[in-house]
Amino acid sequence: MSSTHVANPDLSEGNVRLGTAGLGVQQGAGLVGIIGLVASAVIGFGGMFGTTPTFLMKSWTQNYMFVLAISLGALFFVFIQHLTRAGWSTTIRRPAELIAANLKWSWVGLIPFAALWLSGGGHVEGSDAAHSNWGPGVLFPWADLEALKAHHPAEYDIVAAKSAYLNSTFFWIRAIIYVTFWGVVSTWFLRTSIAQDATGDIRLTEKMQKWSGPIAIGFGLTITFAAFDWIMSLSPAWFSTMFGVYFFCGCCTCGFSVLIIAVLRLQSLGRLKQVVNREHYQDMGKLLFAFGMIFWAYIGFSQYMLIWYANIPEETGWFLGRQIGGWGTLSFVLLFGHFVVPFVLLISKWTKRLSWYLLAAAIWMLFFGWFDLYWLIMPVVPADAMTAKTYMEVVEAHADASTHIFNPLNFTMLAGVGGIYLWMTIRRMRGSTLLAIRDPRLHEGLSFENQ
């Protein structure tokens, strides 16, 4: 790559501040969020459309992890630019910093989890327990070993052996560490970058570069164990050491997609003109292509191939639960929608340089980021997966297994959580500059050109 000089880039307030331009969307998003959460509560607690406490809590978990993945992907983008001392990204880094800074409120998503522990009781999906019997076992079977032993005895010994890690006290200690680390780091990057807008002190850039290495290590550890705790432990008999990397790919998919959408939307509102161009979009498209498609497919296939080839019942059962009934169809939809189709349509550099095309691709990938989390969180491993003699016995016994993908709760919860998240993001963008105007490498970003 090389760079060419851009004469007189527009760094005026009107070009680098959102102002009131996004106010209508912000207010609309907040209203949609409130209505969505209220509707979700009515549907979930009212047991409408066959909704159980387990399905309600899984729906919350899925959508919380979805918006969390967006901010974690943005945080990865921020620190990796400092770590590599990249200059091309200086013109788009501030929107990523603002999206990542939502992690300051990531602890709020744990409140429903805490409510489960405070409610007492327990329930394991598929048991004869009353749907009104709330407790941590509604979502996390390991939190109610007695119920697990009664209804899933084949899994009990495996899960009980993990109790040194899967216990309530340690679970909450880890959760507090995760959200604290993310909140502190994301806020620090944003505040340091904004401070440089005022002082132009190059030492602030050097400071962010210096700490990006340790932060990268902490980031990798926290998102890996958060994926173990909040997703993988929903099926506690199952385990995969690659699962944390798989979730990381999902974070990149969601984070990079939203970054592309946000920058394109800001430019459509008349901001960042002559600051962000198709050269930057091409590189953002490359990142989405590399991490959100190629790396995701590589990790997903590697995890599947190794587990299925080993043919260990407590491992294969997790995938078996995603191949029975309607889940088999959704698995193919995920494969083609998350990899095959976008791979073909976005492999050319020219498609990445067309703003309308890249916007459509980013929206597509964002949807499949949400869809992927549904596929990870919602299925239930059949109780007979570890005891059946053959694969086909399980397939035939659960041929009518429903995915509940069209349950209205899925959409009201997405509207609720997504609406509030969008409201927070726009509010943050309206309160800050959209460009790191005194970054020492800004000139590299303004004159960036792919070769």
What average pLDDT does the segment 111-126 reach? 75
Q: What DSSP state is assigned to residue 17? A: B
Query: Following DSSP, what letter does each residue of 413-429 receive, concatenated?
Result: HHHHHHHHHHHHHHHHH
Q: Are strands 448-449 and 2-3 parallel, antiparallel or unpaired?
A: antiparallel
Alpha carbon distance 129, 376 (integer Å): 24
Q: Please tell me the distance from the alpha carbon of residue 100 to that of residue 89, in angstroms, as a whole number.
A: 15
Q: What is the mean pLDDT of the chain?
A: 93
At 191, which amino acid appears?
R
Residue 291: both structure tokens together: 């991490």
Indicate if the pLDDT at residue 389 is higher than 90.
no
SS (H, E, C) 248-283: HHHHHHHHHHHHHHHHHHHHHCCCCCCCCCHHHHHH
pLDDT of residue 132: 46
Query: What pLDDT does 123 receive?
Result: 46
Report percent pLDDT > 90 for the chain. 83
Q: Which 8-state DSSP code applies to residue 433?
A: B
H or E element at residue 198: helix 168-199
The number of angstroms, rounded, from the C-alpha of 31 to the middle of its chain's C-alpha atoms is 23
Residue 127 has pLDDT above 90, yes or no: no
pLDDT tens digit string along 261-312? 999 999 999 999 999 999 999 999 999 999 999 999 999 999 999 998 998 8
Q: Which phi and psi angles does 3 have, rounded to 5°? A: -135, 150
CB count, 10 Å around CB of 325? Answer: 18
pLDDT digits (tens, 9 = 90+) for 397-412: 888 889 999 999 999 9
**Placement of tokens 């850039």 in the chain:** 205
More confident of the two residues 237 and 4: 237
Q: How far is CA 174 from the centre of its chain?
A: 19
Predicted pLDDT at 393? 87
